[in-house]
Amino acid sequence: MNRPIPVSLNSWIKIKLVLQTHAIVKWACYVGHSIMHCLVTGGAGFVGSHLVDLLLQSGHTVSIYDNFSSGRREFLSHHGDNVAVIEGDLLDLDAVKSAMDGIDIVFHLAANPDIRLGTTITDTDLNQGTVATYNVLEAMRVCGVKKIAFSSSSVVYGEADVMPTPEDYGPLFPISLYGASKLGSEALITSWVGTFGLQAWLFRFANIVGARGTHGVIFDFIHKLRADPSRLEVLGNGRQAKSYMEVRDCAMAMIHLVTNTDDAINYYNLGSDDTCSVSRIAEIVIEESGLSGVSIEYTGGDRGWAGDVPKAMLDPSRMRAAGFDTKYDSEGAVRHTAQILMKEIGIDDE
């Protein structure tokens, strides 16, 4: 008689999560929907490469458009020849038009990944955000591509006085150049919907964290500890608190909502309905580093840099009503990311 193979509880949990991920993605992309040829701008980047993974896993054809200013080829290397990689700049309109041949939908994720950069090079977000989005839309218009999914951001809400912040909150007054570029891009997209008949999905991201991270507070803290394991500098007073979302949760949500919503303009907050403070993130990173005796030192002030929104909590109820929920809450996403990046970056080989 065959006997069951003993499996630990942790192994069962891992198996269950793998099956859930596989089932959600397959269900979202196959039930009643055709296979698409997807163009992912910024597809070699942090969020983009995870989106590419899941689109390919779901059977879609994927082309990537990236200038590799922040994207990394190693994020795509495991796909071999299964993706078409176009190295180009979105500011080159003719090149963008050429990339649209045979495309069914554009996932437009390419942008300046560092919100702080706009404080020193003030046209960064104008060019890499708003102008780049115009070129994508114009190329779509010329080439007859009708669907676009856009990675916007919670920073379009500015310093919202309603939290959790719903999608219909307003008026919208972003306080960073990055936020202004995202809001401007949203407006361009909706104007193309109204004028040229496009269909759009606007995704207002929480702070996205996870494997392959190349910037952000967790990434910065690990590098600071590598440089000096005895102390950790924290910008601001540490009481800044925001919603966080794990990157595969984010990519899965995008696919689910594109597949299962069908208005002319579909707009959703992507995130969790809780927050994690910067001081708590510092504690988690230190815990996961295994270091002892680390002093946390705060630079002071209520925000980390000019244009930083110190408090942000999204209302993801519309996302949940559309049938998607996250695997991690904010603190869970932060801890998972600290564990993953600690392995990717290392802590003791600076």
5 pLDDT band, cuts 50/70/90, is very low
DSSP 55-86: HHHTT-EEEEEE--SS--GGGTGGGGGGSEEE
Q: What average pLDDT does range 324-328 have in this prediction?
A: 97
d(CA 122, CA 151): 21
Pairing of strands 241-242, 199-205: unpaired
pTM for this entry: 0.89
pLDDT tens, position by position, 179-233: 999 999 999 999 999 999 999 999 999 999 999 999 899 999 999 999 999 999 9
Q: What is the DSSP letter of 157?
A: G
Give the CA dihedral 164, 240, 114, 45, nearest 10 degrees. -60
136 pLDDT band, cuts 50/70/90, is very high
- Domain locations in the chain as residue ranges: 12-208+245-272+314-327
29 pLDDT band, cuts 50/70/90, is very low
12-208+245-272+314-327 adopts what CATH topology? Rossmann fold (3.40.50)
Q: Hey, what amino acid is at 144?
A: G
Q: What average pLDDT does range 82-94 have in this prediction?
A: 98
